[in-house]
Amino acid sequence: MCGALRASDAEKKAVLMGWVNRRRDLGNLIFIDVRDRTGITQVVFHKENNPALHQKAGELRNEYVIAAIGAVKLREPNTINKNIGTGEIELIAEELRILNEAKQPQFLPGDSVLPNEELRLKYRYIDLRRDAMQFNIELRHKVAIAIRDYLSSQGFFEIETPFMTRSTPEGARDYLVPSRVQPGHFYALPQSPQLFKQILMISGFDKYFQIVRCFRDEDLRADRQPEFTQIDLEISYPQPERVWEVVEGFLTAAFKSAGHEIKTPFSRMTYDEAIRLYGSDKPDMRLPAMTDVREAFAAENLATLGVSPNLPVMAIRIPKVGELSRKERDDIKPLFVSKDGAKLFEDFKRLEKSFPEAAATIREKNGAQADDLIVIVAGNHKPGEHKSAGGVKPEVKQHDHAVYTSAGLLRVALAQKYAAQHGAFARSDFHFLWVTDFPMFEWDEDGKRWAAAHHPFTSPHERDMDKL
């Protein structure tokens, strides 16, 4: 392999096969960098030693595929390249075979400036020759092996489930495949192996996993693609602690294979806490949590602001943003997505002038510094009182949820907008979080029905069994 030769291989014969990465013609000497997925080795052609071979090397161009045969030689001390693993040696060519010629490509794998994504995808085979892409593919391979090894050591069987199946009610539309032998009928590509793994459980395979391809016919988003790979597993007779243990175990193995150490056990937070503190069931915890500051305002203050006294009043703090102009404050308004009439108060200085005591209490409660940005999200006068039917306290109610969600979306949008100021996103460490005690059903306002909050394949708490 082109990246395998070292100083200890000096004076040995070697055969290198790969792509021409770079060609340097110095007249009597031609240097060819030969590349494969392991690295680069410099091959030298001397005109004095073999004029015909030197002439043939002069015909080489970028991305030709060649085989070079010769002797490994130590480089002169002043020519050692410390930037590559093979930098102490070179191959003195004795024979050259051109295995495949190449037209001038649209871009080169070694280009420092990448072309646009459309061109990269059109010439994907060239794009995949780049070091970064080769690294990503190798990393994915190592991570998959680490996960398989760990789960196998825990008694899990890797079992493949069918791709050609019937349509099942899941969260997206199915991709359909027409049947040749049964005209007018279709197979559906699986959105997940959910039903198959449940069949495996009742068949006696109590520990199953699969690194599996799934297909969902839905619009593209940052975290949604038509086809994707997921780590799928199922356990018979599970308890939450056992699920946490297994998942934390294979994630630890996966990250270790990628050169990262992660801390276990992972932090845990209930769904209600996540919604109240972050306005999301997948909270970004790199920035300060939101604070409910309703108690900072007197009842007459809330009435003046047109805010419901029965709903949360959430303060969002983004550190180190500094003083904002009127225009910059106005630019915050388009970032706000109001749910069920939630209201935004983006000018905290105006609130300080009108309600100085409340503003001082808010700063104290959320620990704001002088250069921190504070915005307030509150509910309108829609009633917020209704009966609670759950067991986890304090429970997030439906009306409260709109305020928390609106504030949570704004918190993330502001964090992204002012990322350069607060610097929290520059950290590269990993902090995992379990969000527990999800509601099993939520009211779907559009469909006017109760729908599964996550998915219906979930075990309710013992205290809620009588509600089934």
CB 403 within 8 A of CB 291: no
Pairing between β-strand 207-215 and β-strand 157-158 as defined by DSSP bridges: parallel
What average pLDDT does the segment 13-27 reach?
94
User: Could you tell me the two tokens for 300?
Assistant: 């007459």
* pLDDT on residue 284: 92
* pLDDT on residue 380: 76
- The per-residue pLDDT for range 95-120, each reduced to its tens digit, is 999 999 999 999 999 898 989 999 99
CB 130 within 8 A of CB 115: no
What average pLDDT does the segment 367-376 reach?
92
* pLDDT on residue 223: 76
Among 407, 404, 425, smallest CA distance to 319 is for 425
Among 380, 408, 386, smallest CA distance to 314 is for 408
For the residues of 69-136, what is the DSSP string, one character each?
EEEEEEPPGGG--TTSTTTTEEEEEEEEEEEE--PPPSS-TT-SS---HHHHHHTHHHHTTSHHHHHH
- The per-residue pLDDT for range 169-224, each reduced to its tens digit, is 766 788 999 999 999 999 999 999 988 999 999 999 999 999 999 999 988 887 77
What average pLDDT does the segment 299-325 reach?
91
CATH topology of domain 134-258: BirA Bifunctional Protein; domain 2 (3.30.930)
Among 352, 323, 314, 346, smallest CA distance to 333 is for 346
CB 454 within 8 A of CB 437: no
Q: How far is CA 126 from CA 108, 114, 134, in A?
A: 7, 12, 11
Q: How confident is the model at residue 389 (pLDDT cuts 50, 70, 90)?
A: very low
The highest-level CATH class for domain 268-382+396-437 is alpha beta
* pLDDT on residue 396: 64
- The per-residue pLDDT for range 155-173, each reduced to its tens digit, is 999 999 999 998 877 667 8
Q: Where are the domains of the chain?
A: 7-100, 134-258, 268-382+396-437, 439-467
Pick the CATH number of 7-100 from 3.30.70.20, 3.75.10.10, 2.40.50.140, 1.10.10.10: 2.40.50.140
What's the rounded Cα separation, in Å, for the pair 426 and 225? 26
What average pLDDT does the segment 291-315 reach?
91
Q: How confident is the model at residue 398 (pLDDT cuts 50, 70, 90)?
A: low
392 pLDDT exceeds 60? no
What average pLDDT does the segment 50-78 reach?
93
Using DSSP's 3-state secondary structure scheme, residue 445 falls into coil
* pLDDT on residue 395: 60
Place of tokens 């915050």: 332
User: Could you tell me the two tokens for 432?
Assistant: 């995992």
Among 394, 349, 402, 404, smallest CA distance to 371 is for 349
Place of tokens 């199915």: 174
* pLDDT on residue 342: 87
- The per-residue pLDDT for range 400-420, each reduced to its tens digit, is 788 999 999 999 999 999 999
* Torsion sign across C-alpha atoms 391, 392, 393, 394: negative
* pLDDT on residue 390: 46
* pLDDT on residue 399: 61
CB 343 within 8 A of CB 380: yes
36 pLDDT exceeds 50? yes
The model's pTM is 0.83
DSSP β-bridge partners for residue 229: 213
Rounded mean pLDDT of the chain?
89
13 pLDDT exceeds 90? yes
* pLDDT on residue 381: 59
CB 177 within 8 A of CB 164: yes
Q: H-type helices in 154-270, by residue range?
A: 194-202, 240-257
* pLDDT on residue 363: 93
